[in-house]
Amino acid sequence: MNMTLGRLKVAFLGPRASFSHQAAAESFGRTSAELLPHITFADAFSALQQQEVDYAVIPCENSTNGSVVQTLDLLADRNDLYKDVKVCGEYYLTVHHCLLVRKGSYPSGWEGYDGSITKLYTHPQAWGQCELLLSKYFKGVERQDVSSTSKGAEIVSKEMEERSAAIASRFAADFHGVDVLKENIEDRADNTTRFLILRNMRAERAAQLELEQPATAVTTHKTLISFAIDHSLPGALANALLIFKAHGLNLTSINTRPSLKRAWQYIFFVECGRTPSDENRDAVIKALNDLRHVTEFCRDLGTWKDQLGARI
């Protein structure tokens, strides 16, 4: 089913004003794309496979917490539900938290803060990311878990009785119309989430748009390949990994998830990079051909331009 022409549609994870929403807005900011919230990872993958959207922006890894297993499990695609979904880009978003309060409730700002906040809202993971500020200024203040940082900002925007605050992004503050009382309250300044930009390889409209990602000094192309091996054969995994080296593909990360076919058998996700040249133009195709001989299955999950180089 081809979509009728019109505005580009991009799925993101979570409620509106989530970090995925921000990543989608920043990635597709120069287009007139319509950004659409999807509550679960599977919803976003499914919408993309069904061509209800052209792209999806999904978190895959955090520099502090590691891989996002929900994303790996969907990319594993054990039941062939998402066979047209591929990675076509990536986006790095540094996670900055702010202390948010209802509009106008603290007119003199953080300098004039009088210690009157009695309740805090945020996602469970964010408490641990802002411990320094919380232990210094908010010791003993009631903490209420919410399903997303964006939800906390929304609650605070509507709260009329209590003196409450939320921990969320500036993006969420703008979206929900609340004030930033203090910004960059996170303990680690370098906490960054990497998002994958996925597209449906059969969608014609998506193929027309060349994602204008920032040029890097030396453009590295990254490729993601998944495969499974027969662990009863000694050396099978080493042989599979050797193939990347043989074709000049530099291994940059390896992840594994249970195959769920047999216990203690895995699906491997190998990310590899190359600086494009005439010699290695067909390196990925050749590597995949070789991998087919030593793996139970292997799948090309897409190639895109490395964006990490652009940030350093």
Residues of this chain that bind a second copy (CB under 8 A) = 62-67, 69, 190, 192, 194, 231, 234-235, 237-238, 241-242, 244-245, 250-258, 260, 263-264, 266, 268, 308
Residue 151's SS3 state is helix
Amino acid at 218: V
Residues in the chain, overall count: 312
Q: Minimum distance from CB of 159 to a second copy (Å)? A: 27
Nearer to a second copy, 31 or 192 (CB): 192
Nearer to a second copy, 31 or 191 (CB): 191
Q: Cα separation of 12 and 26, whole Å?
A: 12
Nearer to a second copy, 31 or 63 (CB): 63
20 Rama sector, left if φ>0, alpha if ψ -120 to 50, beta otherwise: alpha
Nearer to a second copy, 39 or 260 (CB): 260
Q: Minimum distance from CB of 127 to a second copy (Å)? A: 16
| Angle at 64 (CA atoms; ends 238, 98), nearest 5 degrees | 155
What's the order of all strands across the beta sheet hosting 119-122?
142-145, 119-122, 164-168, 98-101, 179-183
Q: Minimum distance from CB of 169 to a second copy (Å)? A: 18
Nearer to a second copy, 103 or 293 (CB): 293
Sign of CA dihedral 110, 112, 115, 117: negative
DSSP 70: H
Q: Minimum distance from CB of 94 to a second copy (Å)? A: 9
Q: Minimum distance from CB of 40 to a second copy (Å)? A: 14
